[in-house]
Structure 1
Amino acid sequence: MNIEVLKHIVSNEPSLIEDIAQKHNLDSSASVGVARQLVAQHGNLAALSQKQRHHYDQCISPLLENVPCDGIYGEGTCTGNGFIDDDTLLGCYLEGDFLCQLCRYDAERISRE
């Protein structure tokens, strides 16, 4: 788990968790509470109850794990493996631009040409 990304989401974009919770008919404040608990416990998933783990799996994990790359020209145009790596993920949230490292490189190269 990328704890730095989770800290950013909890501090700056909790609505991302809330939106997913609402789609799954879960209590959005409980989902955000689970995220805050994980930040406080440095990402210790073992400390979660079964119900809290459900909130993590449904509402938090999709924001941290296997986050899809938008691709240079939109969906299906990723030049990498289709997912954003951990090292790039925080930058994606900060910039609002969800591209993997390869797509970022290719997009920069294209913009220079």
Structure 2
Amino acid sequence: MNLDALKYILNNRIELIEEIVAGTQYDSSATIGVANFLLANEGNLELLSQAQKYHYKEFIKPFIESATCDGVFGNGTCTGNGYIDDESLIACYIEDEFLCQHCRYDAERITVD
């Protein structure tokens, strides 16, 4: 679990959580509460109730554990494994460009050439 990315989202991109929860029967404030609880407890999932684990799995985990790469030329064009590594994740949120290290490198080479 990328706690640094979770902290960044909670402090700077809270709308991401609000948007993913919108349109469901769940309240985004509950999801935000679970996210804050995880931060305060170093990401210890064992401390979560079943309901909290649901919020984590459905609304938090996609942002901090299994974020997918958009690919250099769009969906399906990732030159890596399709996922963004922990080291690149915060930069993706800051730049609002979701590329893995391979695609980031390829995109820089295309821009420079």
| Common fold by TM > 0.5 | yes
Per-residue deviation at 1:22? 1.8
Q: Which amino acid aligns with 1:79?
A: T
State the distance in 1 between where 2:2 and 2:15 align. Answer: 18
Per-residue deviation at 1:95? 1.0
Per-residue deviation at 1:72? 0.5
Q: Which amino acid aligns with 1:76?
A: G
* Residues 30-63 of structure 1, C-alpha deviations (whole Å, 9 max, x = no match): 0011001111111111111111111101100011
TM-score by length of 1: 0.95
**C-alpha root-mean-square deviation of aligned residues, in Å?**
0.9
Contact 1:72-1:106 within 8 A present in 2 as well: yes
Partner of 1:101: 101
Name the SS of the counterpart of 1:35 in structure 2: helix
Name the SS of the counterpart of 1:93 in structure 2: helix
Aligned residues: 113
State the distance in 2 between where 1:66 and 1:52 align. Answer: 18
State the distance in 1 between where 2:70 and 2:23 align. Answer: 21
TM-score by length of 2: 0.95
- 1:11-50 aligned at under 5 Å gives the runs 11-50=11-50
Name the SS of the counterpart of 2:72 in structure 1: coil
State the distance in 2 between where 1:14 and 1:42 align. Answer: 19
State the distance in 2 between where 1:21 and 1:79 align. Answer: 30
Q: Which amino acid aligns with 2:56?
A: Y
Percent identity over paired residues: 54
Structure 1 runs of 4+ aligned residues shifted over 3 Å read: none
